[in-house]
Structure 1
């Protein structure tokens, strides 16, 4: 069984590299390149050929050095990927530096992320839940959170809103980039692919069995540019967040009612007790008294 100490050591070293801490390599002759050049070279390879093409050997060939010399700077590929990710995150402008209200700034930030993913598609192949924890990524995160504080939402809801927008942009970008990759590798556009399958609509598809699909196809709604779909989805997400923010400001409780227990006397929801209180059977004392009187036997 592995102890995990090696991974912990590399994680510490990776954080030191990200934040410019620790000692720089000083053994032997001074090389003709820097850590920044190593990272930028790796980014260039990933942009052109994908993450699978990134290796110490390939980077060493580009820089004209030995593979082992690179390990004086970076302990391994995992740390290199963190450095690459944080380096390109520096391209995203701070969300709170833009003019406008919170929605305008959040929309600009989402578009900036969309552009970043299209310039560096390999970012979407890395796990979003385990960020690089670098200075550029944290500066971006901080700036978006500052924008969202203008909504007046409580801390937990504020983070959920951030996660919702981030997940939408990442998902939409991944779908668009996957479609572009399929088109590039197959040599067929979406229009050409569908044209080659016209037989499906002419001889296989039964409109009476799928009337909704048939009506949407007749209206030309089934096929549209993917960037237009991103615009529609982003507007829908931002509209939903705006409604949620207004409801919170107006004091409306958005907790789902399906988990509330109805009062057996009047049917209204029973208020949840404090964590240390006893569960309530009725919504009010009046309902409890009415239920008590209903259970009492009537005099003959």
Structure 2
């Protein structure tokens, strides 16, 4: 005669078929591969019915936040050394841009809701601590983080969109002489726009913090 408990164990998977972490990871993979989020397609990826999601999440917004958490877990952990303010600004910007570049299609949706995932909050808490240790007044910590976050998201989206933000036909060069000259100049003297952005952010934020 079979042991009832053994039969029960054999009839159930040892690990839950669906979990919040599994939903977040699958949603992130969908953003990476399909550049969009479809609840029916996500259910198909996970091999469950769509109604099963609502035992774990309240809806689409929470799934997006779980994808944010999965993105934080996927991204390399930033090395925030106790250094100068300039170092912390650059390290934070680079860490954010590296993370966001993993799933650019997710970024517009992240902008529509506040950060609430514990893994993401922990990462931002580390950034906040690094800025405090570098001498940033506490009332400027969030504005600094928001500025760097917005710049990193913009840079990540910009990296996948286009080579140049301006398209001027050759016959129109005389109509737009200054913009055309600027295009030629940057072609002759290339500038790494992300390093340039980091320089501008660093100089601006250092000045704002110094004068606060």
| TM tier, smaller | 0.7 to 0.9
Matches within 5 A, 1:1-300: 33-35=17-19, 36-52=21-37, 54-55=38-39, 57-92=40-75, 97-128=80-111, 130-179=113-162, 190=163, 200-201=169-170, 203-206=171-174, 210-221=176-187, 228-248=192-212
Moved over 6 A (4+): none
Unaligned runs of 5+ in 1: 1-28, 180-189, 249-300
TM superposition score normalised by structure 2: 0.77
Q: What secondary structure sits across from 1:51 in the alignment? A: coil
The total of aligned residue pairs comes to 199
Q: CA deviation at 1:222?
A: 8.8
Unaligned runs of 5+ in 2: 1-11
Q: CA deviation at 1:141?
A: 1.3
TM superposition score normalised by structure 1: 0.57
Q: CA deviation at 1:221?
A: 4.4
Q: What secondary structure sits across from 2:114 in the alignment? A: coil
1:83, 1:217 → 2: CA distance? Answer: 42
Q: Is this contact kept in 2: 1:151–1:245, CA < 8 A? A: no
1:129, 1:67 → 2: CA distance? Answer: 24
More helix by share: 2
Q: Name the residue aligned to 1:291.
A: none
Deviations 1:124-165 (A, max 9, x none): 111436224111111111111111113434333232222222
Greater C-alpha radius of gyration: 1
Range moving further from structure 2, 30-39 or 57-66: 30-39
2:176, 2:60 → 1: CA distance? Answer: 50
